[in-house]
């Protein structure tokens, strides 16, 4: 689950809903709290900036922050940037592959991942160029838009076909559970439909975006939280 809840440690309410992995910063104290509760973290290692085609943090920063946490049992994966765009930054795939190699020099055990947008410069599902750049790829395909009366779940199926066509075998779905000016919050039944379409694929896991986003917290939407709890209790496939 992305985002934090209002419990004292920021994840107890989420854990009660069946989530077992939470976003965290690369600090031993933060990961120690997760370890104490037997849950995991996807560890944020800073942003990728499409505007400048550069990392937020340099290699020295990565070394100084990964070394102290590499042996933490709370680490599930390292999150490298978010939604890089190869149309704006043609060297980005190579740079993500190089950053993955850097992380593995320090920690050869835990994987890296990033999230790839469903479109880039008008090209839908531009996934093939990202194969092998991180150990795991995440795909955010959000089917519920404000302008549409019905969510377009066929977009998930099209994304899965593109993932398979690119030969990508280790990937996570990013489930839409948020709203903004463009997207609307899926209803409980629509959340279920999202999961059903992704479960037809060979995904190896999923993250849900997001417990808190903008002015909305899922704590104010108990029906959606109950649906997510149900989905978390079901088999991945």
Q: How many Å apart are CA 85 and CA 227, to the nearest integer?
A: 33
Using the 8-state DSSP alphabet, how is residue 145 labeled? B
CATH code of domain 12-233: 3.20.20.80
| 8 A C-beta contact, residue 26 and residue 66 | yes
- Show the tokens assigned to 109: 């055990």
- Show the tokens assigned to 195: 């999961």
Least Cα distance to 197 among 128, 135, 139 occurs for 139
Consecutive H or E run containing 138 = strand 136-140
List all residues 6 or more positions away from 188 whose beta carbon is below 8 Å from its beta carbon.
223, 224, 226, 227
| 8 A C-beta contact, residue 126 and residue 85 | no
- pLDDT at site 75: 98
- pLDDT at site 61: 98
Distances (CA, A) of 60 to 44, 91, 94, 117, 230: 16, 20, 19, 28, 43
Question: How does strand 212-213 pair with strand 216-217?
Answer: antiparallel
Q: pTM of the entire structure?
A: 0.97
Q: Which residues of 179-193 are buried (b: 16+ CB within 10 A; e: fewer)?
A: beeebbbbebebbbb
- pLDDT at site 140: 98
**Domain spans, the chain:** 12-233
- pLDDT at site 125: 98
- pLDDT at site 54: 98
Compute the radius of gyration of the chain from its Cα atoms: 17
Tell me the per-residue pLDDT of 161-176, one tens digit each, with 9 for 90 and over: 999 999 999 999 999 9
In tens digits, what is the pLDDT along the chain, a chain of 237 residues? Answer: 999 999 999 999 999 999 999 999 999 999 999 999 999 999 999 999 999 999 999 999 999 999 999 999 999 999 999 999 999 999 999 999 999 999 999 999 999 999 999 999 999 999 999 999 999 999 999 999 999 999 999 999 999 999 999 999 999 999 999 999 999 999 999 999 999 999 999 999 999 999 999 999 999 999 999 999 999 999 999
């Amino acid at each position: 689950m992305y985002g934090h809840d209002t419990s004292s440690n920021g994840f107890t309410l989420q854990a009660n809903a069946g989530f077992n992995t939470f976003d965290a910063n690369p600090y031993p104290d933060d990961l120690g709290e997760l370890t104490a509760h037997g849950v995991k973290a996807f560890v944020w290692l800073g942003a990728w900036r499409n505007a400048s085609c550069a990392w937020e943090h340099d290699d020295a920063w990565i070394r100084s922050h990964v070394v102290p946490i590499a042996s933490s049992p709370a680490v599930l994966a390292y999150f490298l940037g978010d939604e890089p765009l190869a149309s704006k930054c043609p060297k980005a795939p190579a740079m993500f592959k190089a950053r993955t190699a850097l992380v593995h020099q320090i920690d050869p055990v835990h994987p890296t991942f990033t999230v790839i947008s469903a479109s880039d410069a008008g090209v839908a599902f531009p996934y093939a160029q990202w194969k092998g750049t991180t150990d795991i790829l995440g795909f955010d395909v959000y089917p519920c838009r404000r302008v549409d009366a019905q969510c377009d779940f066929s977009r998930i199926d099209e994304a899965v076909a593109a993932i398979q066509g690119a030969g990508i075998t280790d990937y996570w779905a990013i489930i839409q559970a948020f709203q903004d000016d463009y997207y609307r919050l899926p209803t409980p039944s629509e959340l279920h439909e999202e999961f059903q379409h992704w479960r037809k694929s060979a995904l190896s896991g999923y993250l849900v975006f997001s417990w808190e986003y903008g002015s909305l917290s899922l704590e104010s939407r108990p029906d959606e939280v109950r649906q997510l709890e149900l989905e978390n209790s079901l088999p991945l496939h």
